[in-house]
Amino acid sequence: AWMGSCYCVESSVVGCLLCHAGCSTDKLASSLAFHPPSPPSYALTTAPDGRRRAVFDPANEESSRLARDWGAALAQCEVDEVRTRRGNTVCVLRLRRGSADDAYVGRATLIVSHGNALDAALFVPFASHVAHQLDANVSVYDYSGYGRSSGVARVEDCKADIEAVVRHHVERLGCDPARIVLYGQSIGSGPTCHYAALAGRASRGYREGNNPTSVDGERADPRKRLDATPTAAAYDIGGVVLVSPIMSGLSVISPPEGGSGGARCTPACVYRSCDVFKNFDAVGSFKCPTLVVHGRLDDQVPCSHGIGLH
């Protein structure tokens, strides 16, 4: 390979890190991909009526500024603590449009999987703006190990997190799955693509290779949980929005496929079988409408990722 197009050094570094992690891709991803704010930007309190509330945490040095600028938006959030199939408790901050108990029946609901290095409360200002502009419900959840969610941030926990959050919205809040739109930003595109692919495979009648759930190609009942694998089930959601998505975990530190003479020695190629959040594989199973948004000047996740997924 020509000078500047060889990525053997990067691949060697990833190999050393993988060995240090005991050859566990989950542990490697946990140490490299997830960077939750420490301390979290918010704390949970219990109101006199017994409901949980979120406030910007005084222990955070930015709390006074955050409370001044965005405290009112955070105060509007309802808080749910949802148990996942892996035993963690995930914190969900919900912005509901209207006060009626049936607010989730007729309106669209965005479920946000946020980007790295922030937690749900830090996303609330933008979520509030989106909720107002679209007249839609917006729910932002924290991955295991982020914010006030329990556990440690790991790939498989992230997948279980979004499964539990969607299930909570349908079974407890009464959301119509067909009105749910999953919004995944940056690293959040991983769990978002996981769920959309899970729903797509389930909607096509996939379970252990042969267990139809729809007839004559018709859309399955969206209110019915569709079995996608022996351990997970999904609802037939209405749509997906991917903002600055990643092709996969290792693709972030690799050039675009075929983009250089040394592409075969990139971490994404060398460790393809060990890669995580393989969104490039997941998108092929999507059945719902999908919007991909990616800035051409993005210097964190190259625009080629969004183009590739599209």
State how far Cα 196 lies from the chain centre.
Answer: 11
- What sign does the dihedral 94-97-101-102 (CA atoms) show? negative
Shortest CA distance to 55 belongs to which of 147, 175, 162? 147
| Alpha-carbon span 63 to 137, nearest angstrom | 26
- What sign does the dihedral 222-226-231-237 (CA atoms) show? negative
pLDDT at position 224? 61
pLDDT at position 270? 54
| Alpha-carbon span 150 to 12, nearest angstrom | 33
**pLDDT tens, the chain, 310 aa long:** 333 456 666 666 666 766 756 666 666 666 667 889 989 999 999 999 999 999 998 777 777 888 888 999 999 999 999 999 999 999 999 999 876 667 787 889 999 999 998 999 999 999 999 999 999 999 999 999 999 999 999 999 999 999 999 999 999 999 999 999 999 999 999 999 999 999 998 877 644 444 444 434 444 555 566 655 545 678 999 999 999 999 987 777 666 554 444 466 666 565 565 677 999 999 999 999 999 999 999 988 989 999 999 9
| Alpha-carbon span 198 to 238, nearest angstrom | 13
| Alpha-carbon span 56 to 62, nearest angstrom | 9
Q: Residue 250 contacts by C-beta under 8 Å, 6 or more apart in sequence? A: 14, 266, 267, 268, 271, 272, 274, 275, 276
In this structure, what are the phi and psi dihedrals at residue 155, rounded to the nearest 5 degrees? -60, -50
Contact 219, 199 (CB under 8 A): no
